[in-house]
Amino acid sequence: MHAASTAVLISEVGPRDGLQSIKTIMPTANKKLWIDALYQAGIREIEVASFVPAKMLPQMADAAEIVRHAKTLEGLTVLALVPNLKGAEAAIQAGVDKITIPVSASAAHSLANVRKTREEMIEEVKRIVEYRNSQAPLVKIEVGISTAFGCTLQGLVPEDEVIWIAEQVIAAGVDEAGLSDTTGYANPSQVKRLFSLLRGAIGEKAGAAHLHNTRGLGLANCLAAYEEGVTSFDSSMGGLGGCPYAPGASGNVVTEDLVFMFEAMGVNTGIQLENLFKAREPLRLGLPDEVIYGMVPEAGLPKGFVVDHKEGM
Ligand code: ZN
């Protein structure tokens, strides 16, 4: 029996989330080669950069150039993270298709991360939406609600506060709001419950699952989100970034392992695994001293492995 071939979108966040979390700066030319290789493997949404002052994040100083390069890849949704209106203006001027704005569910994390209260951040989201509406109405805006499953600073994050933020930003005019397990605290039951509440509150505007593997539950949490109807997932090649606290575990969910899980289940990702593994080469070349995670690329595909969705699709 073939499982229902629900297509999922794998949004690769390595060039942004990964590269901004490490001290080494990947040269611009290597970033371009890596993005090209990801695209060649079939990835069709990449978070390529964040638009922040270069003195804060020198890793992202070439953001505009990277966006312009990524825009030459046909059919690729070029996504950039922006923390404020100034960043949104720069990203839109560089030509992005979509921007993602992090809004913390945890009051403590919001102050520490962007030096704004959550209410101030929601006001900033409104300003970004107004700018988009007047200057670039085709650009999509998503909010990623960070620390949605718990916070290293304040611990518990009340679920009704997470949902309140989602409602506020959707009312402000963003296209979708997703949930991020910034700290790697989530478990599968919690992921199901919170995405169910999110869908109940904002319906089809419920966005991506950005889940971490800090405590080894990354794939289990992705599967839980999928079973709850989530079809868009953020992950990072080689598990790069996402602030790993635990030795042996990646921070972000490893794209290669996530794609393998879905393809093995017969859920079409549109990504070719062999080509995806090849895309680890330019990553290695660009960051020779970093640990590149991934269980499936290390172990190899199972003997006789055939993706199961050909008939259904
Ligand atoms: Zn992350």
Per-residue pLDDT of the chain (313 residues; tens, 9 = 90+): 344 444 899 999 999 999 998 889 999 999 999 999 999 999 999 999 999 998 999 999 999 999 999 999 999 999 999 999 999 999 999 999 999 999 999 999 999 888 999 999 999 999 999 999 999 999 999 999 999 999 989 999 999 999 999 999 999 999 999 999 999 999 999 999 999 999 999 999 999 999 999 999 999 999 999 999 999 999 999 999 877 666 666 799 999 999 999 999 999 999 999 999 999 999 999 999 999 999 999 999 999 998 765 544 4
Question: What distances in angstroms separate CA 299 from CA 80, 260, 289, one per listed residue?
Answer: 32, 12, 21
How many CB atoms within 10 Å of residue 191? Answer: 27
Token pair of 186, please? 């989530």
In angstroms, what is the span from residue 263 Cα to ligand 1's centroid?
22
pLDDT value of position 114: 87
Does residue 243 carry a catalytic annotation?
yes
Q: Residue 235 C-alpha to ligand 1 middle, in angstroms?
A: 7
CA angle 115, 118, 124 (to 5 degrees): 80
Distances (CA, A) of 58 to 28, 150, 205, 259: 12, 29, 33, 31
What is the C-alpha R_g of the chain? 18
Neighbours of ion ligand 1 (CB under 5 A): 17, 242, 252
- State the burial class of residue 54 (Cβ atoms within 10 Å of its Cβ: 0-12, 13-18, 19+): exposed
**Model pLDDT, residue 2:** 43
Q: What distance in angstroms lies between residue 186's CA and the mean position of ligand 1's atoms?
A: 13
Domain spanning 9-299: which superfamily? Aldolase class I (3.20.20.70)
The model's pTM is 0.94
Q: Which of 22, 201, 243, 264 is catalytic?
A: 243
Contact 71, 312 (CB under 8 A): no
Give the pLDDT score at 1: 38
What pLDDT, on a 0 to 100 scale, did the predictor assign at position 250?
Answer: 77
In angstroms, the CA 291 to CA 284 distance is 9
Q: How far is the CA of 305 from the centre of ligand 1 (A)?
A: 29
Question: Distance, CA 130 to ligand 1 centroid (Å)?
Answer: 27
The pLDDT score that the predictor gives to residue 246 is: 63
